Structure 1
Amino acid sequence: MKLFCSAIAGLLAIACVTPAFADVIVTPRFTGYFDNSNQRQSGIDTAGSLPSDTALADLNAQLQSVFGPTASVSYANSDSGSRASQVFFPMLGASVSFSLDPERRTQITATGMYGRGHADIKNIGTATQHTSIQGQIADDLFVTRGTGRGKFGRIDAELTLQHRLDETFSLMAGLRYERLRENVSITTQTTGSSNAINLINALGGNGIVSYGLLNDTAVGSYKTTSAIYSARVGAAAYIPLGSTQRIYVNGLAHINYAPANTIVLTQVFQSSGLPQVVNSRIGSETTIGPDISVGYIHQLGTKASIDIRYRGLFYFPVSGARSFDDPRVNHGLSIGVSFTL
Structure 2
Amino acid sequence: MKSLLVGCAGCAFLAPSVAHADVVIGPRISYYFDNSNLRTSDLEGLQDARTVVDDEVTRDLRTATGFDDLSLTVQDNGSAANADQVGFAMVGAMVNFGDDRDRFTVTAMVGRGDATTELVSSRQTTLEVADISFNELSVIQTISQDEIDRFDAELTWQRRLNENFAILAGVRYERLDVSGQGEITIQETDEIRQFVAETLGNEAPTRNLDGQRQPARVLTDRSLETFSGRIGVTAFVPFSENAVAFFSGMVHGSNQPSGDFRSQFIGRNGEVVREETRTDRGEWSMGPDFAVGAQFILANNLALDIRYRAIMSFPISGDFDFSDSRVNHGVNLGLSLRL
Alignment-mate amino acid for residue 188 of structure 1: I
1:115 maps to which residue?
111
Matched, 1:302 2:296: no
Q: Which moved more, 1:188-197 or 1:147-156?
A: 188-197
For 1:49, the aligned partner's letter is: D
Distance in 1, Cα, partners of 2:111 & 2:262? 24
Q: Where does structure 1 lack aligned partners over 5 or more consecutive residues?
A: 1-20
Q: How does 1:198-209 map to 2 (within 5 A)?
A: 198-205=194-201
Over residues 188-220 of structure 1, what are the superposed CA-to-partner deviations in whole Å (9 max), with x where a residue is unaligned?
Answer: 21111223332232222359899xxx9431111
The corresponding residue for 2:258 is: 260
State the 1:150 CA deviation: 1.2
Give 1:22's aligned residue.
21
Matched ranges for 1:164-179 at <5 A: 164-179=160-175
Shift of 1:76: 5.4
- Give a deviation string over 1:69-117, Cα, whole Å, max 9, x none: 9899785533112111111101000111110xxx531011111110001
Alignment pair present for 1:97 and 2:93: no
Structure 1: how far apart are the matches of 2:145 and 2:214? 20
Alignment check: 8 A CA contact 1:111 1:157 kept: yes
Alpha-carbon distance in structure 1 between the residues aligned to 2:233 and 2:216: 52
Q: Deviations over 1:121-150 (max 9, x none)?
A: 111011344668999875432101122211
2:163 aligns to what SS in structure 1? coil
Q: Which has the higher helix share?
A: 1
The residue type equivalent to 2:285 in the other structure is T
Match of 1:145? 141
Percent identity, aligned pairs only? 29
**Pairing of 1:173-212 with structure 2 (within 5 A):** 173-205=169-201
Measure how far apart 1:257 and its partner are: 1.3
Report the Cα distance in structure 2 between the residues aligned to 1:318 and 1:62, rounded to whole angstroms: 42
* TM-score normalized by the length of structure 2: 0.80
Residue 158 of structure 2 aligns with which residue?
162
1:303 Cα deviation from its structure 2 partner: 1.5
* Partner in structure 1 of residue 309 of structure 2: 311
Matched, 1:31 2:35: no
Residue in 2 that maps onto 1:12: none
Q: Is the 8 A contact 1:288 1:317 kept in 2?
A: yes
Q: Distance in 2 between matches of 1:284 and 1:258?
A: 5
- What is the aligned length? 310
Superposed CA RMSD in Å reads: 3.3
TM-score normalised by L of structure 1: 0.80
- 5+ unaligned residues in a row in structure 2: which ranges? 1-19, 207-211
Q: Give the 5 Å matches for 1:49-88.
A: 49-50=48-49, 60=54, 63=57, 77-88=76-87
